[in-house]
Structure 1
Amino acid sequence: MSLPFLSVVIPCWNESRFVAAFLDSVFATTYPADRMEVLLVDGMSEDGTREIVRQYALRDPRLILVDNPGHSKPAALNRGIRRAKGDVVVRLDVHAEYPPDYLERCVRGLVEHPQADNVGGVRISRARDDTLLGRAIALSTTSVFGAGNSKYRVGASGPQWVDTVFGGCYRKTVFDRIGLFDEQLTRAQDREFNHRLRASGGSILLLPEITCTYYARSDFREFCSWTFEAGYWPFRASRTVGHWIGSWRNVVPMGFVLALAAGAAAAPRSRTARRATGAVLATYGLTALTFAARLARQHRDPGLIVALPPVFLATHVIYGAGSLKGVLERT
């Protein structure tokens, strides 16, 4: 089977720590060299990223460095897509590494499933720093308890039609049909685009045999900031575009935070409120400990029993707080 010409689009900004290993994984691909181009769209990095990319481009003419003043991620994606020559566009993330067959599996997935407009796989999370906290943060994003029903995070037993995937491998005609990424959204642009794709009658297919390794944040402060923004943006983006683009998993943490806040407010005056709040916390703690023990056993890392429950709690409370801001904020 002759594979279509492929354009790989990579938004990038100040990624000198990761970009070399990332590009090594991209160029180790089994995809035919004469059937692909790699467009790295850089937001005018100032940390040495551009120099590293230029050195790689000298060795491999498939790599093209595209300037993106202002380093907006949706603008980077759109610049890359506009310059893309391929019939298929795959979006990659610099914080990930890809096995040699990743691109080929993605494209073959599109070819073999003509009803799919976007194909992706499962994202395996690893800690950027191999510390107990780093491992706990990474694994929390792959647990149903931490990530809900997000299949690209928690995995699937077989092919599934889903609401979104990590990155994504698109038919180029999709962008002609429904437009490009919304440049009003500094985050959640993938979510909004995939919602628009599905609303237009398009389909998104997750194939679990397609995998990549993503390096999750290991610094707790950075993780908390990222989690707050992750909770905030589904609601902020929905208000910006004028309709809801999230799912039930985006609402649950906010409900948890509201329940705790209501219980705490009523507890001084109500024994029932104290008991109900205590029951919620006890149930939550037992559930968190159960999932932590399961992951500790699976990964043979006993320290996770201690580290994961507070990471789960921080995830849900901070995400829920971000969601509340997104709901209540007036702009």
Structure 2
Amino acid sequence: MTRLPFLSVVIPCWNEAGFVADFLDSVLANDYPADRLEILLVDGMSDDGTREIVQKYAEAEPRLRMVDNPGHSKPVALNLGIIDSRGDVIIRLDVHAVYQNDYLRRCVQGLMAHPDADNVGGTRRAEPRDDRLLSRAVSLANTHPLAAGNAKYRIGASSPKWVDTVFGGCYRREVFDRIGLFDERLDRTQDLELNQRLRASGGKILMIPDIVCTYYPRGDWREFVTWTYRSAYWAFRGSRTVGRWIGSWRNFVPLGFVAGLAGATVLGPGSKFVRQVAGTVLATYGGIVLVSSARIAAREKDARLLVAMPVVFFATHVAYGIGSAVGILEPDGEQP
């Protein structure tokens, strides 16, 4: 068997007391050779008990180190971890997920088996954070094409695919030597920007669908809407910041939907044609949402989802569309 390279696991973290123990249990249970692995949890000076939990794990586990990140910026955390790491391969993990015990090894083996790949990732399966109907609906929407578009790491694939981005990512160290680190100006979407920069330099990103982690999306209504809004905002604001488009065509679909709704609201009262077009579009949209929701409710054997799923789908599209518009139109120098 080919000797695996030394692997550095880099984890940005801030105030994750409710998730960090389960997360670390899953990472430390991975079957990657212990003498070829280091785990750097870069903490933004958490004040909710996260640091105490991590410190207890670090005292019992020599592979784990906690690195301080004053200011809790995520791209700064990633860069601090990369700079402080020793690995020939660097993998980024998210605290809001748990990982199968072969996740690390299989990501690295994916790089080794595909010399033309610079970044490898797997499928991000979604599970609800709690037993509430909203949490369940959000997790189901998270991996449905109606909310996720064609993002393969969310909706899955039948075989390995070359993609524009993956969840987390397992990189050859020389990628950062070649194209630089994460852009610290980007509060969000710094991974999209790095991966776009990687592809622009001739690099390739591979998604291997049977490498699996389980992600716990935000199930509180306000958190869910805010997270969706900010994801859209930073795709467009981040593109303005770096001076080039860093997203995908799928980012424009909710923007078009919300722009159409706004246009119909303004022009509809004075134009029968606009009202007819808007009515047709909304009827088609409603039909697609209802059919999709009915299929989910039938598959999950829960009739309540026939009501919850349309609400979550509509909220996703509207929040994402508004966030996109603000990201485009907001004057320079102003950020939420």
TM bracket, shorter-chain basis: over 0.9
Match runs of 1:26-65 below 5 Å: 26-65=27-66
Q: Distance in 2 between matches of 1:183 and 1:104?
A: 29
| Larger displacement relative to structure 2 (269-278 or 188-197) | 269-278
Q: Distance in 1 between matches of 2:300 and 2:202?
A: 40
- Tell me how far 1:301 sits from its aligned partner: 2.4
The 4+ residue runs of structure 1 with deviation greater than 3 A are: none
Q: Counterpart in 2 of 1:137?
A: 138
- Tell me how far 1:83 sits from its aligned partner: 0.9
After superposition, give the CA deviation of every residue in 1:138-170 in whole Å (9 maximum; x if it has no partner).
111111111111111111111000000000000
Q: Distance in 2 between matches of 1:179 and 1:295?
A: 42
SS at match of 1:205: strand
Q: Which runs of 5+ in 2 are unaligned?
A: none
- Tell me how far 1:182 sits from its aligned partner: 0.3
Q: Distance in 1 between matches of 2:229 and 2:61?
A: 39
Match runs of 1:151-170 below 5 Å: 151-170=152-171
Match runs of 1:254-265 below 5 Å: 254-265=255-266
Q: Distance in 1 between matches of 2:86 and 2:182?
A: 18
Match runs of 1:168-187 below 5 Å: 168-187=169-188
- Tell me how far 1:297 sits from its aligned partner: 2.2
SS at match of 1:76: helix
Aligned residues: 331
Amino acid at match of 2:190: Q
SS at match of 1:243: coil
| Larger displacement relative to structure 2 (51-60 or 257-266) | 257-266
Match runs of 1:68-83 below 5 Å: 68-83=69-84
Q: Distance in 2 between matches of 1:103 and 1:300?
A: 34
Q: Distance in 1 between matches of 2:102 and 2:301?
A: 29
> Taking every aligned residue pair, what percent have the same amino acid on both sides?
64
RMSD: 0.8
Amino acid at match of 1:4: P
Q: Distance in 1 between matches of 2:279 and 2:166?
A: 37
SS at match of 1:267: helix
- Tell me how far 1:310 sits from its aligned partner: 1.1
SS at match of 1:211: strand
SS at match of 2:183: coil
Matched, 1:113 2:117: no
Q: Distance in 2 between matches of 1:105 and 1:301?
A: 35
SS at match of 2:127: strand
- Tell me how far 1:305 sits from its aligned partner: 1.2
- Tell me how far 1:271 sits from its aligned partner: 1.4
Q: Counterpart in 2 of 1:268?
A: 269
SS at match of 2:216: strand
SS at match of 1:66: strand
Amino acid at match of 1:87: D
TM-score by length of 2: 0.97
Q: Distance in 2 between matches of 1:267 and 1:179?
A: 50
- Tell me how far 1:298 sits from its aligned partner: 2.3
SS at match of 2:247: coil
- Tell me how far 1:316 sits from its aligned partner: 0.4
Q: Distance in 2 between matches of 1:284 and 1:200?
A: 38
Q: Counterpart in 2 of 1:292?
A: 293
After superposition, give the CA deviation of every residue in 1:150-204 in whole Å (9 maximum; x if it has no partner).
1111111110000000000000110001000000101110000000000000000
Q: Which runs of 5+ in 1 are unaligned?
A: none
- Tell me how far 1:328 sits from its aligned partner: 0.8
Match runs of 1:81-100 below 5 Å: 81-100=82-101
Kindly indicate whether the alpha-carbon contact (under 8 Å) linking 1:264 and 1:277 is maintained by their aligned counterparts in 2.
Answer: no
Kindly indicate whether the alpha-carbon contact (under 8 Å) linking 1:107 and 1:169 is maintained by their aligned counterparts in 2.
Answer: yes
| Larger displacement relative to structure 2 (303-312 or 188-197) | 303-312
Q: Counterpart in 1 of 2:213?
A: 212
Q: Counterpart in 2 of 1:23?
A: 24
